[in-house]
Chains A and B, each alone.
Chain A
Amino acid sequence: MARHIPLAEAVSTFLKPGATAAFEGFTHLIPHAAAHEVIRQQIGDLTLVRMTPDLIYDQLIGMGLVKKLIFSYAGNPGVGLLRRLRDAVENGWPRPLEIEEHSHAAMANAYEAGAAGLPCAILRGYLGAELKDVNPNIRSVTCPFTGEELAAVPAIRPDVTFIHAQKADRKGNVLVEGIVGVQKEAVLAADKAIVTVEEVVDDLNAHPNACVLPHWTIDAICTVPGGAHPSYAHGHYARDNASYLAWDKIAADRDTFRAWMKDNVLEARPEVFAERIADLGVAS
Chain B
Amino acid sequence: MTGFTPDEMMTIAAARVLRNDDVCFVGIGAPSAACNVARLTHAPDITLIYESGTIGTAPDVLPLSIGDGELCDTAVTTVPVPEMFRYWLQGGWITVGFLGAAQLDRFGNINTTVIGDYDKPKVRLPGGGGAPEIAALSQQVYITMKQSARGFVDTIDFFTSFGHGEGGDHRQRLGMTTRGPTLLVTDLGIWKPDPETREFTVTALHPGVTREQMQETVGWPVRYAATVEETPAPTQEELEVLRDLKARTAAAHQKKDAA
Contacts and interface: CB of A to CB of B under 8 A. Distances in A.
A124 B126 contact: no
Chain B interface residue number, banded: 35 or more
Contacts of B86: 105, 108-109, 112, 123
Q: Interface majority SS on A: helix, strand, loop or mixed? A: loop
Contact of B67 (A27, A72, A85, A242): A27
B124 A90 contact: yes
B210 to A, nearest CB: 32
A46 B51 CA distance: 28
Interface stretch (B37-45, B139-147, B153-161): B153-161
A234 B158 CA distance: 37
A127 B174 contact: yes
B82 interface: yes
Contacts of A77: 28, 64-67
Contact of A86 (B124, B161, B165): B124
A112 B73 CA distance: 25
B72 A124 contact: no
A179 interface: yes
B85 A104 contact: yes
A126 interface: yes
Contacts of A27: 52, 65-68
B162 A28 contact: no
Interface stretch (B128-136, B184-192, B194-202, B211-219): B128-136
Greatest chain B CB density within 10 A among A104, A185, A239, A244 is at: A104
B208 interface: no
B118 interface: yes
Interface stretch (B13-21, B222-230, B236-244, B248-256): B248-256
Given A77-B67, A81-B125, A128-B176, A181 B90 contact: no
Contact of A279 (B64, B89, B131, B256): B256
B78 interface: yes
Interface residues of A, number: 63
A149 interface: yes
Summarize B's interface: helix, strand, loop or mixed: loop
A257 interface: no
Given A129-B160, A180-B53, A239 B68 contact: yes
A281 interface: yes
A108 B259 contact: no
Interface in A64-106: 71-75, 77-79, 81-82, 85-86, 89-90, 101, 103-105
A134 B161 CA distance: 14
B78 A180 contact: yes
A128 B174 contact: yes
B133 to A, nearest CB: 4
Contacts of B255: 242
Nearest to A77: B65
A85 B90 CA distance: 31
B84 A108 contact: yes
A249 to B, nearest CB: 14
B48 interface: no
Interface in B90-122: 90, 113, 118-119, 121-122
Contacts of A281: 257-259
A178 B78 contact: yes
A243 B257 CA distance: 12
Given A28-B69, A78-B63, A242 B137 contact: no
Interface string A110-129: 01100000000001111111
Interface in A236-250: 238-245
A131 B125 CA distance: 14
A57 interface: no
Contact of B133 (A78, A104, A111, A241): A104
A229 to B, nearest CB: 11
A108 B90 contact: no
Contacts of B171: 128
Interface of A: 26-28, 51-52, 71-75, 77-79, 81-82, 85-86, 89-90, 101, 103-105, 108-109, 111-112, 123-131, 134, 148-149, 178-182, 184-185, 211, 232, 234, 238-245, 279-284
Given A112-B82, A129-B160, A239-B69, 7 more contacts: A26-B52, A27-B52, A28-B67, A73-B128, A108-B81, A124-B90, A244-B65
